[in-house]
Amino acid sequence: MATEAQVNFVNSLAAKKQLTPSLVEQVGKVRSGVATTRETSSLIDILKACAWKPVTANSPVTVSTPTMAELGYYRFNGEFFTVCQNKLKTRKYAKVFSLVPWRDEDGETHAAGWKYVKGMVNVLKPEHKVTIEEAKEFGHLHGRCLICARVLSDPKSVSEGIGPVCITRI
């Protein structure tokens, strides 16, 4: 995964250079945390060689801020994500639903559930929002509720693919 310094530098270069569609796609991979440090380093070299965006005397100077996804549930590249807010409601962040056990930064092991993904909140768009049908399909396929990550055990919830409380959250 690319370092934070690499991601910041790629973002800085991408804002100032003329990019081809394939370079835009590669920058998106870096921003979403998919690119490795080696891939990001190669991309930085390519971006350095790109032509600068033309600036005229009448061009207003604008600073573009990344658009963040709204709170909710999303499906992107075959994976499910949720966008949350911190307790102070000062920032948003995204998590991916993982069925593979993992350890968090405190060393606690999790069997399945939501795992933080750096930078993904800037990648998710409204068109990636999960529908109720997709959430139910997930529940039928994995036997877990997409929203709360609990194992579906109630017969009605199993048949629906989602619990009665969680269905109201979509």
Question: Is the confidence at residue 162, as pLDDT, over 60?
Answer: yes
Contact predicate 123/32, CB 8 Å: yes
Residue among 49, 40, 61, 41 nearest 20 (CA): 49
End-to-end CA distance of the chain: 31
pTM of full prediction above 0.85: no
Say what the pLDDT of residue 60 is. 58
Say what the pLDDT of residue 55 is. 60
Is beta strand 92-98 parallel, antiparallel or unpaired with respect to 102-103? Answer: unpaired
Is beta strand 79-85 parallel, antiparallel or unpaired with respect to 109-110? Answer: unpaired
Query: Domain limits of the chain?
Result: 4-49, 72-169
Instruction: Give pLDDT tens digits for 50-94.
Output: 888 776 656 555 555 567 789 999 999 989 999 999 999 889 999
Say what the pLDDT of residue 79 is. 92
Q: Which residue has the tokens 């109630």?
A: 154
Say what the pLDDT of residue 56 is. 60
Instruction: Give pLDDT tens digits for 7-43.
Output: 899 988 888 888 888 888 899 899 988 899 999 999 9
Instruction: Give pLDDT tens digits for 36-62.
Output: 999 999 999 888 888 887 766 565 555
